[in-house]
């Protein structure tokens, strides 16, 4: 199956919600866990128990695992493996971006068959030029995985680059969207190159009408993004939009049933 087919099947079964696993130190504290690899593992595997098989996609934030060194990365590998065993798609939020052989190595790590860090998709940064992502795009296509490319992020500093105007009159964000749209052209039900567009960015000022791919919309929930914001940004037809909630769900832990109930409430509101 292509990534688009896998995603369509998952959304049909569970709805479009993507839930993040962000083991932020403050959340470890709130759950009564130590800021250690052991606390990280307890947190992450509790989230896996709560979310696995109940949502379309789960997004572990790699940085919070990497902060604990090799033991933290080992926990991330286990999270990826156990979520995939439940049939839940895994988007590894690593935001990798580089050139040449280094980008090829990142592609193999996060998208290659047999890699313990490979989920079903990975987030990428295109700001060394969209063409620099080619090794990852090719590996994703070859292995039936996907990528989500940063386009319009919700941090205020992002506008300095993303809304800058290129010589051809398009914004950098629009250029990224157009490259991604071309890569996805003609693929059904949707392409394997997704975009990241923050739910709290205000106005997009870009044309998404011809984009045939999934759109990850972080910032939904605790960061202020609402269903009304999603409809305003993406229009009434949101079949390829994946609202993402992390803290708004995770704050209900560590009780598994409370986490499950929090997910269900968000799903019912979409």
pLDDT tens digits for the chain (270 residues)?
999 999 999 999 999 999 999 999 999 999 999 999 999 999 999 999 999 999 999 999 999 999 999 999 999 999 999 999 999 999 999 999 999 999 999 999 999 999 999 999 999 999 999 999 999 999 999 999 999 999 999 888 999 999 999 899 999 999 999 999 999 999 999 999 999 998 877 777 888 887 999 999 998 766 666 777 788 788 766 778 999 999 999 999 999 999 999 999 999 988
What kind and span of H or E run contains 184? helix 172-184
Distance, in Å, from the CA atom of 96 to the CA atom of 135, rounded to the nearest integer, reads 12
- Please choose, from the candidates 151, 153, 78, the residue with its C-alpha nearest in 3D space to the C-alpha of residue 119: 78
What is the C-alpha R_g of the chain? 18
Distance, in Å, from the CA atom of 35 to the CA atom of 24, rounded to the nearest integer, reads 9
- Please choose, from the candidates 106, 141, 142, 138, the residue with its C-alpha nearest in 3D space to the C-alpha of residue 124: 106
Contact 31, 43 (CB under 8 A): yes
Q: Which residues are catalytic?
A: 95
What kind and span of H or E run contains 228? helix 227-234
CA atoms within 13 A on the CB side of 95: 9
């Amino acid at each position: 199956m292509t990534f688009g087919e896998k995603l369509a099947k998952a959304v049909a079964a569970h709805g479009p919600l993507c839930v993040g696993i962000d083991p932020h130190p403050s959340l470890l504290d709130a759950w009564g866990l130590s800021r250690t690899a052991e606390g990280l593992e307890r947190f992450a595997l509790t989230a896996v128990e709560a979310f696995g098989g109940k949502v379309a996609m789960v997004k572990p934030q790699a940085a919070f695992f990497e902060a604990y060194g090799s033991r933290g990365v080992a926990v991330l590998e286990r999270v990826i493996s156990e979520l995939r065993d439940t049939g839940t798609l895994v988007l590894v939020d690593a935001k990798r971006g580089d050139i040449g052989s280094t980008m090829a190595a990142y592609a193999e790590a996060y998208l290659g068959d047999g890699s313990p860090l490979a989920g079903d998709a990975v987030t990428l940064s295109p700001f060394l030029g969209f063409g620099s992502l080619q090794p990852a795009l090719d590996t994703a296509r070859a292995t039936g995985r996907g990528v989500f490319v940063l386009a319009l992020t919700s941090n205020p500093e992002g506008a300095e680059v993303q809304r800058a105007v290129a010589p051809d009159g398009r914004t950098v964000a629009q250029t990224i969207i157009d490259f991604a749209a071309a890569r996805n052209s003609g693929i059904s039900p949707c392409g394997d190159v997704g975009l990241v567009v923050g739910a709290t960015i205000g106005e997009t000022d870009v044309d998404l009408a011809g984009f045939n791919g999934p759109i990850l919309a972080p910032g939904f929930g605790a960061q202020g993004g609402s269903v009304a914001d999603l409809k305003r940004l993406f229009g009434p037809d949101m079949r390829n939009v994946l609202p993402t909630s992390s803290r708004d769900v995770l704050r209900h832990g560590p009780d598994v049933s409370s986490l499950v109930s929090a997910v269900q409430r968000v799903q019912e509101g979409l």
